[in-house]
Amino acid sequence: MPLLLAIESSCDETAVAIVRGQTGQATEVLASEISSQIELHRVYGGVVPELASRNHSLRLQPLVEQALAHAGVTMADIDAFAATSGPGLASSLLIGNTAAKGMACVCNKPFLGINHLEGHLLSPFIDRTQVPPHLALIVSGGHTLLIEVEGPGSYTKLGGTRDDAAGEAFDKVGKMLELPYPGGPEIEKAARSGNPQAFDFPRSMLQDPHLDFSFSGLKTAVLYTLQREQGKVSIPDLAASFQQTVIDILVGKTLRAAEESGQRLIALSGGVSMNRALREAFNHACSKAGLELVVSPPDFCTDNAAMIAFAALLRHLNGESSPLNEDIHPNLPLV
Judged by the rule CB under 6 A, the positions of this chain that interact with ligand KG4 are: 140-142, 167, 170-171, 182-185, 188, 270-272, 274-275, 302-303
Assess contact for 85 and 326: CB atoms under 8 A: yes
Amino acid symbol at 320: E
Q: Which lies closer to ligand KG4 via its Cβ, residue 68 or residue 274?
A: 274
**Residue 184 binds: one of ligand KG4, Zn ion, none (C-beta under 5 to 8 A by kind):** ligand KG4
Whether residue 182 is preceded by a cis peptide bond, meaning omega within 30 degrees of 0, is yes
Of 29 and 274, CB closest to ligand KG4? 274
Which residue's CB is nearer to Zn ion, number 91 or number 195?
Answer: 91
Among ligand KG4, Zn ion, none, what binds residue 272 when CB lies within 5 to 8 Å by partner kind? ligand KG4
Q: By beta-carbon distance, which residue lies closest to ligand KG4?
A: 271
Spatial CB neighbours of 306, under 8 Å, sequence gap ≥ 6: 6, 17, 19, 29, 32, 123, 126, 299, 300
Instruction: Give the C-alpha distances (Å, rounded to integers) separating 29 from 6, 121, 126.
Output: 11, 17, 9
Residue 159 contact partner, candidates ligand KG4, Zn ion, none, CB within 5 to 8 A by sort of partner: none
Closer of 113 and 141 to ligand KG4 (Cβ): 141
**Residues 120-159 close enough to bind Zn ion by CB under 5 A:** 140
Query: Which amino acid appears at position 173 of this protein?
Result: V
| Residue among 23, 30, 29, 22 nearest 2 (CA) | 22
CA distances from 286 to 115, 267, 325 (A): 28, 11, 44
Task: Single out the residue of 118, 164, 171, 303 in contact with Zn ion (rule: CB under 5 A).
Answer: 303
- Closest distance between ligand KG4 and the C-beta of residue 101, in Å? 22
Residues near Zn ion (CB under 5 A) are 140, 303
